[in-house]
């Protein structure tokens, strides 16, 4: 079973189950290096067992492999690598992923079923998506809280891809990359502190991004988004 722009081929395994593939970028099919590949079991595990999860990263040619995957249904999440992370090689030794950020693209999810065979040459194509830049200021000229992020929200119609947030820098600037295509709203949040803060305004080119959706196309860029963040007034 498969969901998404992805093809796969079965091969009888020598021992255990392996899933491998390649990630390329549309429209020129260039390999995507340092993309994070995570596989997660979907079905509830049997009593006394754990849900299978594993992850790896693509190499410079976009290739990746995960071994010892049991028979089951899985969700594969393909995500841009955002921070250096240790990964194990075939000998079980830990290698450090290059600290240079990988290619940015729209995160994707796929469903696959492991059933008695390896899955090799899983061809996954991703798109660059949109890019949004701007600045967040605190209402009244006060300092911004720590761990503030800007979060795009897809409409129900377009909510098919995982949406990634962007950390707001100390000067208030932010860069969102790999924004899914379609219609989005935009706001700033501090997770776990929703009762303390709220997004007062979010605008670009006269649009109210709290109420009006912003259309994102593959390769598009939206600049100079202005967000005003505020503390909830205690009554």
**CATH for 112:** 2.60.40.10
Split into its structural domains, the chain has a count of: 2
How do beta strands 6-11 and 53-57 pair?
unpaired
| 77 conformational bin, left if phi > 0, alpha if psi -120 to 50, beta if neither | beta
Q: Is there a single domain that holds both residue 97 and residue 161?
A: no
In a domain, 26, yes or no: yes
- Helix segments in 48-184, DSSP class H: none
Q: Residues 178, 220: contact at Cβ < 8 Å?
A: no
The pLDDT of residue 123: 94
168 pLDDT band (50/70/90 cuts)? very high
In a domain, 1, yes or no: no
Report which of residues 209 and 10 the model is more confident about.
Answer: 209
Look at 112 and 234; give whichever has higher pLDDT: 112
Write out the residue range of the structural domain in which residue 90 sits: 6-126
What pLDDT was estimated at residue 86? 35
* Whether residue 94 is found in the same domain as residue 136: no
61, two tokens: 């040619």
75 vs 113: CA distance, rounded Å: 9
Chosen domain end from 96, 126, 156? 126
Domain assignment of residue 170, yes or no: yes
Q: What whole-number distance in Å separates Cα of residue 36 and Cα of residue 108?
A: 11
pTM of the predicted protein model: 0.76
Query: Looking at residue 51, what is its pLDDT?
Result: 85
Which has more confidence, 47 or 18? 18
């Amino acid at each position: 079973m498969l969901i998404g722009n992805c093809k796969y081929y079965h091969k009888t395994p020598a021992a255990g189950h392996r899933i491998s593939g390649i990630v390329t970028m549309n429209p020129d099919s260039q390999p995507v290096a340092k993309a994070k590949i995570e596989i997660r079991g979907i079905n509830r595990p049997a009593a006394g067992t754990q849900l299978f999860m594993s992850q790896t990263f693509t190499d410079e040619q976009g290739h990746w492999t995960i071994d010892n995957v049991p028979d089951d249904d899985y969700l594969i999440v393909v995500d841009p690598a955002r921070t250096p992370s240790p990964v194990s090689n075939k000998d079980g030794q830990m290698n450090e992923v290059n600290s240079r950020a990988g290619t940015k693209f729209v995160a994707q999810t796929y469903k696959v079923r492991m059933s008695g065979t390896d899955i090799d040459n899983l061809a996954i194509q991703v798109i660059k998506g949109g890019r949004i830049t701007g600045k967040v200021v605190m209402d009244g000229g006060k300092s911004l809280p720590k761990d503030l992020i800007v979060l795009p929200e897809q409409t129900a119609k377009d909510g098919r891809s995982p949406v990634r947030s962007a950390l707001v820098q100390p000067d208030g600037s932010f860069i969102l990359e790999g924004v899914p295509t379609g219609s989005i709203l935009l706001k700033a949040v501090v997770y776990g502190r929703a009762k303390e803060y709220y997004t007062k305004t979010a605008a670009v080119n006269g649009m109210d991004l709290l109420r009006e959706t912003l259309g994102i196309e593959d390769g598009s860029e939206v600049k100079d988004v202005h967000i005003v963040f505020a503390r909830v007034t205690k009554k």
